[in-house]
Copies of this chain bind each other. A is one copy, B any other.
């Protein structure tokens, strides 16, 4: 939002060359397709071939893989972040808002093959992705969590970081094994979060 606006920004020394802008978009599209087909681990060469560009082009626009993944999913991450306050405002029960937001978050993770895996990957390649997710979504989660605690629906003591990471972890696993549904376990988790002494 700060660097993409070519119009009349006096601080911006110059706009990107049009071919560069075009390539950036082409790579983004190709990457999105490749991620669907092969997960966020799709080989760079494969993405480059699909986009019809060289590998160098991808690395110039997106120095790390996390940058590429972030760029591809930015809109959806933003949507998820913005849904938090909206849900809170639209529900009488903060707990219901929290639950629905988590549903959104889980849907996002499980439909992007390998995204949850990447988020918890031990490799440094995805560190920036991890950071971006946390920076953007953890405050939202914290707000919902606090509201639910304040309303007495859930017990205090659980930290937003831990909850988000736990949910993310439960979403790991790209197969469609019917024996494993992350949502059922997350449901259990939320149930365990409820304060038995409150409605």
Interface residues of A, Cβ cutoff 8 Å to B: 39, 41, 114, 117, 120, 122, 158-159, 161-163, 165-166, 169-170, 172-175, 179-182, 184-185, 187-193, 196
Contact = CB atoms under 8 A, between A and B. Distances in A.
Nearest to A179: B161
A180 B161 CA distance: 7
A166 B170 CA distance: 6
Copies of this chain present: 2
Main secondary structure on A side of the interface with B: helix
Contact of A189 (B120, B165, B185): B185
Given A158-B188, A161-B179, A166-B185, 15 more contacts: A117-B122, A122-B175, A159-B179, A162-B184, A162-B185, A163-B185, A166-B170, A169-B170, A169-B172, A169-B173, A185-B189, A188-B192, A188-B193, A190-B192, A192-B192
Nearest to A39: B122
Contacts of A39: 122
